[in-house]
Amino acid sequence: MVDPIRYRKTLVTLLKLLIVFELISALFEGLQAGNWARFGVDLIVAGILYVMWERIRLLLRTQKEEIRKKMERPAQDIRLLDAMLFSLLWSDQIFKGIPEDRRRLVVTSYTLITLGLVAAFVKVGTGLMPLVVAGALVLAAVNLVTWVVSVEREERETLKTELKLAHDVQMSLMPTGHPQVQGLDVAGMSVPAREVGGDFFDYSCLGGAETKLGIPVFDVSGKGMQAAMSAVFTSGAFASEAKQSSSPADILTRLNRAVCSHSRRGHFVAFLLTAIDQQTRCLTFANAGQTRPILKSNGTVQSLDSVGVHFPLGMKEDSLYEERTVQLQPGDALFLLTDGFTDAMNSQQEMFGTERIEDLLRNSALDGLPAQKMMEFIAAEVRAHVGTAPQHDDMTMVVVKVVG
C-alpha cells in the first residue's frame, strides 16, 4: 500500500521541478528568439507561488491551530482562503485520518491530478485538447475524492446515531434522581468523556434488605463503545449478585468470577462497593482497584484504605476480597469518585490530584451544604482547573452526607 503522505510530498517535489523546467524553457526561448514575455510572466507566477509558500510556512508556526478552529465553525462561516490554508497546513493529519481501505482511492486521485498537470505541461494534442484532457483528469480526481468524503460522512453519521443510542441506553441504566433515604442525603453524577463511557454508579438494596443501601461505583478499562458495553454487562452482573448477599466483599468476589469468564484478556473493572446500614450508620466497603473513598468527619478529611487484595475485577479469577467497616457520625460526608476527577488535566498536563480534592473538602464552608451542592462545588473546581483542555476520562462522583 502506497503511503498517501509520502506520495503527496513526491507530487509537491514534481510540481516544483515542473516550475523550474518551465522557467528554464522560457529563459532559453527569451535568449534565442528575444521574446521575454513568457519568461516575465512565468517569473511573476513563480514569485507569487514562492511568496504564498513562505506565507504558509509562517502560518504553520504561528496560526496553524487558529486555522483549524476556524474550520470547525459552521460551514457558512468558512472562507475559501481558510479552507485552502487548512488543507495545506494540516495535510499530514488529514491523510493520517483516512481509513486504510480508502487510501488507495486517494492515491488514485493524486495520480489523476498528476497526469492532468503533465497533460497540460507537455501539451498533449493540439488546440484545446491539452486543456480538455487535463480538465477531465482533474475532474475525475475531484469526483473521486468527493465520493470518498461523502461515504465517510455517511458512515460517521450512522456511527454517531448508534453512539447516541448507546449513550441513551447507558444513561438509562444509571439513576435519574437521588434516593430518598432516612438520615442520609445522597447525590450522584456521571459525565462520560465520549458519547459513551465505562463509568457507572447506582443505588441498590443489598441482599434484599431495605435498610442496607449499596452504592457501586466502577470504572471499566478503556473508553467508547467497548467500554460502555462492558459497563452494561458489569452492571447487570452486579444487580444479580447484589440480590444474593449484603456483604460487599462477598459480592465482589462473586462478581470477579463473572467478569473473568466473560471479558477478553487484559480487560479490567475497577470496582468500589459501599454499603451503609441505615439503622446503625455503619459504612462497610470493599475496593477492587478503584479510587479510595474520602471521608470528611468532624473537620478532618481522610482517604479510607481497604483491606485484603486490591486487584481490579477480571485480573485474577481466584481473588478473595475483604471488607472494612467504619462508623459514621451525624454531619459526616462520604465522597466516592473515579479517577476522572483526580486525573483531570489542564493544557499544561497538570493533574488535579487527590490532594487538591482533599484540600477542597477541608473548607469549612462545605459543612452546611447539602450533598448536591458539595458535588457541584468539587465538579466546578475541577472544570476550572481543566479550562479549555478536553476531558480525557469519564468523571463519576457520589456524595453521601449523614444528616441525622
pLDDT score recorded for residue 273: 96
Mean pLDDT of 112-121: 70
Give yes or no for a contact between 203 and 252, defined as CB atoms under 8 angstroms apart.
Answer: no
Mean pLDDT of 144-172: 65
Percent of the chain with pLDDT over 70: 66
Cα separation of 329 and 311, whole Å?
30
Higher pLDDT, 346 or 77: 346
Per-residue pLDDT reduced to its tens digit, 288-329: 999 999 999 988 999 999 888 889 998 888 899 999 999 999
CA-based nearest residue to 268, from 326, 209, 316: 316
Mean pLDDT of 221-225: 67
Dihedral angle sign, alpha carbons of residues 254, 258, 264, 269: negative
Mean pLDDT of 45-56: 71
Cα separation of 169 and 186, whole Å?
23
Higher pLDDT, 224 or 376: 376
Statement: residue 96 has pLDDT above 70: no
pLDDT score recorded for residue 139: 63
pLDDT score recorded for residue 229: 75
Strand partners, 285: 274, 324
Neighbour count for residue 282 (Cβ, 10 Å): 14
Give yes or no for a contact between 346 and 353, defined as CB atoms under 8 angstroms apart.
Answer: no
Q: What is the DSSP letter of 320?
A: -
Higher pLDDT, 273 or 393: 273
pLDDT score recorded for residue 73: 66
Of 44-58, 68-82, 179-193, the least confident = 68-82
Backbone angles phi, psi at 285, to 5 degrees: -145, 155
Is residue 126 very low, low, confident or very high in pLDDT (cuts 50, 70, 90)? low
Higher pLDDT, 129 or 43: 43
Dihedral angle sign, alpha carbons of residues 123, 129, 135, 136: negative
Write down how long the chain is. 404
Mean pLDDT of 225-231: 72
pLDDT score recorded for residue 48: 74
pLDDT score recorded for residue 289: 92
pLDDT score recorded for residue 392: 80
Q: Where are the domains of the chain?
A: 4-156, 174-402
Q: How many helices (DSSP H) and strands (DSSP E) are in the chain? A: 12, 11
pLDDT score recorded for residue 199: 82
pLDDT score recorded for residue 247: 94
pLDDT score recorded for residue 75: 59
Per-residue pLDDT reduced to its tens digit, 3-27: 655 666 676 777 777 777 777 777 7
Q: Is 396 helix (H, G, I), strand (E, B) or coil?
A: strand
Fold of the 174-402 domain: Phosphatase 2c; domain 1 (3.60.40)
pLDDT score recorded for residue 219: 86
Is residue 250 very low, low, confident or very high in pLDDT (cuts 50, 70, 90)? very high
pLDDT score recorded for residue 150: 61
Is residue 390 very low, low, confident or very high in pLDDT (cuts 50, 70, 90)? confident
Cα separation of 353 and 338, whole Å?
12
Per-residue pLDDT reduced to its tens digit, 194-210: 655 578 899 999 987 77
Strand spans (E) along 157-304: 184-191, 199-201, 204-205, 212-220, 269-277, 282-288, 294-297, 300-303
Summary mean pLDDT of the chain = 79
Strand partners, 212: 277
pLDDT score recorded for residue 76: 58
Per-residue pLDDT reduced to its tens digit, 341-362: 999 998 888 999 999 999 999 9
Neighbour count for residue 267 (Cβ, 10 Å): 19
pTM of the model: 0.62
Statement: residue 261 has pLDDT above 80: yes
Mean pLDDT of 18-47: 73
